[in-house]
């Protein structure tokens, strides 16, 4: 299991960062410059579309679709679409921050609808293996204590998007100074992404980690502090405790 997760992480990094970077700026890798045959625009589009093709293929392979997964898929597709636009300057910087803006909007809408976005991510984290466990987890996440944690977790995800989007915008303004299609434009884009990609990883670890901890801790308290969701006795402890807790209004279970 650990090896599978490591392999997937390496594939994620390769297809979403390393390969696009090598396409845009092949010189550090000693690779041939594809812009000589495809043109600067063709290479730029290919570097933008490649991560999307990987994300779509990975989503179809896993066959797991929920609102959070659909949002990530929509973000990847929109990112590929804007890769066809010839943007530079402020417009390019705004494009680089677009995904973060969409994530902030998605978090805000989900909170207004009282279905915090982090709930769907938490389902994927806990992974109930049977319909009975899915219903049990749905009821657990409906408890006021856990509900409040999910709201705060979603707010943390939105805050992370604000920080990353702001950083991406100013890094793009700082490093991408050439007009679109000029020699060196693609290399400037690659260097900008080389700064924001590790920043995104650090922010993901910090903010998603904090969001997950809030929700995990609240869920564990429902078992009387006996079990974490990854422990063997979690489901039996949760099943034993929930009958004594108030039953909120019925809610649909995330896909």
- In whole angstroms, give the CA distance from residue 160 to residue 198: 14
115: buried, middle or exposed (CB in 10 Å: 19+, 13-18, 0-12)?
A: middle
From residue 178, give the alpha-carbon distance in Å to each of 146, 181, 184: 49, 8, 7
- In whole angstroms, give the CA distance from residue 169 to residue 163: 10
Q: What are the structural domain ranges in the chain? A: 2-244
Q: Which long-range contacts (CB under 8 A, 24 or more apart) does 5-13 make?
A: 11/54, 11/58
- Rounded to a whole number of angstroms, the distance between the first and last alpha carbons of the chain is 23
pTM of the model: 0.82
What is the number of alpha carbons within 13 Å of residue 18 lying toward its C-beta? 8
Contact between 149 and 3 under an 8 Å Cβ cutoff? The reply is: no
Look at residues 255, 144, 141, 186 and name the one whose alpha carbon lies nearest to residue 25. Answer: 186
- In whole angstroms, give the CA distance from residue 87 to residue 142: 45
Going residue by residue through the chain (255 aa), what tens digit of pLDDT does each one get? 556 667 877 888 888 889 999 999 998 888 888 888 899 999 999 999 998 898 888 877 776 666 666 777 777 888 888 889 898 899 999 998 998 999 999 999 999 999 898 888 887 777 777 788 888 888 888 888 889 999 999 999 999 999 999 999 999 999 999 999 898 999 999 999 999 999 999 999 999 999 989 988 888 887 777 777 777 778 787 777 776 555 454 455 555
């Amino acid at each position: 299991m650990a090896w599978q997760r490591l392999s997937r992480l390496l594939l994620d990094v390769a297809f979403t960062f390393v390969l696009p970077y090598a396409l845009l700026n092949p010189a550090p890798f000693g690779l041939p410059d594809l812009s000589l045959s495809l043109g600067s625009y063709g290479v730029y589009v290919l570097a933008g579309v490649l991560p999307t093709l990987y994300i779509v293929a990975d989503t179809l392979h896993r066959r797991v679709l929920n609102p959070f997964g659909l949002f990530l898929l929509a973000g990847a597709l929109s990112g590929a679409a804007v890769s066809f636009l010839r943007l530079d300057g402020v417009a390019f910087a705004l494009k680089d921050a677009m995904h973060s803006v969409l994530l902030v909007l998605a978090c805000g809408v989900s909170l207004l609808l009282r279905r915090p976005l982090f709930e769907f991510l938490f389902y994927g984290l806990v992974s109930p293996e049977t319909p009975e466990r899915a219903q049990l987890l749905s009821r657990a996440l409906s408890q006021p204590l856990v509900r409040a944690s999910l709201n705060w977790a979603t707010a943390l995800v939105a805050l992370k998007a604000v920080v990353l989007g702001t950083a991406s915008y100013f890094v793009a303004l700082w490093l991408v100074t050439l007009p679109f299609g000029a020699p060196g434009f693609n290399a400037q884009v690659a260097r900008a992404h080389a700064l924001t990609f590790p920043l995104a990883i650090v922010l993901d670890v910090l903010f998603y980690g904090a969001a997950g901890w809030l929700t995990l801790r609240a869920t564990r308290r429902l078992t009387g502090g006996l079990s974490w969701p990854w422990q063997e006795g979690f489901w039996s402890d949760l099943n034993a405790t929930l009958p004594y807790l108030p039953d909120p209004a019925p809610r649909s279970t995330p896909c």
